[in-house]
Amino acid sequence: MDKPFEYKGKWFLPHQDEEEAVAGILKYRPNKGLTLELIGKFEGEDEIEIIYGVIGSGKAVTLYNSFIIKQEFMLSEMEMSTYLSNVCFIGGWFDGKSDLMFNKAKVSYAHLDDWLNISSGFNIKHDYTEFRTQIEYVLPQFKKIQVEDSFSLTINPTAKGPSRRLIQKDASIVQKIYMVFETKRKTHYDEYLKRIFHFQNFLTVATQHPIFIKELSMFFKVKGDSKRHEAKVYFQLTHIPQQKEELFPFDMILPYREIKDDFETIIKKWFGFREQLETSLHPYTSVFYAPFLYISDKFLNLSRSLEAYHRDFINGSHVSFVDRCKKVVKSNSRIYNPTLKIVSIPIFAKNIKNFRNDFTHSNPLTSRGKKYLKTHKFSEYLKVIMAVAFLVEMGVDKKILKNKINTSRLYVHMRHKLK
């Protein structure tokens, strides 16, 4: 999903025969989405729920929720039209929204392999005296977690072995890990996406880096056929952040290895609290996915996250913002205060409230430079405070979090008060 493509093919509507198809090109750009350029037009249709296609390789394609964005009339009376599509399924034809039912989804996330860091399958030996290298590889076992009665999540390692060539110059084994979401009964595409994005948000909190989907496949069965068929899914990735090539354990707040033994319990809670987490988690993760947000907007989103978390997990009754802030900060201060060094929690909470009010009500700023630096500092503090609040709520060991925060490379600038 993070790679562009172009496919030539023929395109038609579900009520049409394939002989009535219109020639065109399907283009995908991750940050711009899907466009279908036709030599012609679907008559009388400006908004179309389903478009069928057959691309050059003979694969069936379904475009879901499309609408026309451009029409051109050539001097030769040839008509050109361009449609924008929300979702593309390559590998099957679906009748409509109600037909988008699946049994399984396979997802590759950015930095998933870095976060898991499962390297037990590799055994590499060097003998420098004889210039000999021996590489052995065994595919690690998958780990399946029954998150709910009807929903399971699997850590699924795969590997691509070395190829053999007539002229051999190199040999490589590439391991790639997918997360597999599976339901006992057919489940709608929209519900699968909610679960896929919810796990993505967990990775964002655990790594403190923006995570996005790199590959997505949905699996379905056809009546009269027991085989599962695969449909590759593509849609627009609104903001693809600049990614590091690799994340190391000291680049994260909580690598998988630190919670390996408790991961099943933690992830069950994460999905069990999915609805309850929405109002506090979404404004929190937005600061990672919107790189062009003003620092004041990032601060306000983090403040909103803190307030919603206190309301939904600690005290739902009417409480002042300052009291909510003091309670959330104090509850886990022993974990992060060796790094944050908050001298007075009441003063800190009052400062957060005052800054929030300034930005919310657009009060004049008497010292813009100083205000900017303080806003950035408070935002960085709130990112740590809320990450810890979420993870402790899910049952992560406080000692592990304290150790990681106070040794991670993420927070060097805080520990040493660097700007």
Confidence of residue 388 (pLDDT cuts 50, 70, 90): very high
Q: In the structure encoding, which two tokens stand for residue 84, read together?
A: 């924008």
Q: What share of the chain is helix, strand, coil (3-state, %, to 5)?
A: 40, 30, 30
**pLDDT at 107 exceeding the cut of 70:** yes
What does pLDDT average to over the chain?
Answer: 92
> What pLDDT does residue 366 have?
46
Using CA atoms, how far residue 352 sits from 300, 329, 332, 419, in Å, is: 10, 11, 17, 19
Asked if residue 77 lies in contact with residue 111, where contact means CB atoms within 8 angstroms, the answer is no
Residue 32: what pLDDT? 92
pLDDT in tens, 314-368: 998 889 999 999 999 999 999 999 999 999 999 999 999 999 998 888 655 544 5
How confident is residue 8, by pLDDT bands cut at 50, 70 and 90?
very high
pTM of the model: 0.93
Q: How confident is the model at residue 418 (pLDDT cuts 50, 70, 90)?
A: low
What is the predicted pLDDT for the residue at 396?
98
Query: What is the spatial distance between Cα 414 and Cα 341, in angstroms, rounded to a whole number?
Result: 9
pLDDT(110) > 80: yes
- 87 three-class SS: strand
35-39, 48-52, 112-116, 290-294: segment of lowest average pLDDT: 290-294
d(CA 71, CA 82): 7
Residue 365, token pair as written in the block: 């700023």
Q: Which residues pair with 215 in a beta bridge?
A: 108
- CA dist 116 and 112 (Å) reads 6
| Tokens describing residue 295 | 């620092």
Give the model's pLDDT for residue 367.
Answer: 42
Q: What is the pLDDT, as a whole number, of residue 161? A: 87
**For the segment 213-223, what is each residue's pLDDT rounded down to a tens digit?**
999 999 999 88
pLDDT higher than threshold 60 for residue 172: yes
Residue 68 has pLDDT above 50, yes or no: yes
Quote the strand ranges of 302-393, DSSP E: none
Q: Whole-angstrom Cα distance, residue 182 to residue 313?
A: 29
The mean pLDDT of 173-193, rounded to a whole number, is 96
Residue 401 has a CB neighbour count (10 Å cut-off) of 22
pLDDT over 90 at 268, yes or no: yes
Query: What is the four-CA torsion angle of 198, 200, 203, 205, rounded to 10 degrees?
Result: -60
Residues 78-86, mean pLDDT to the nearest whole number: 91
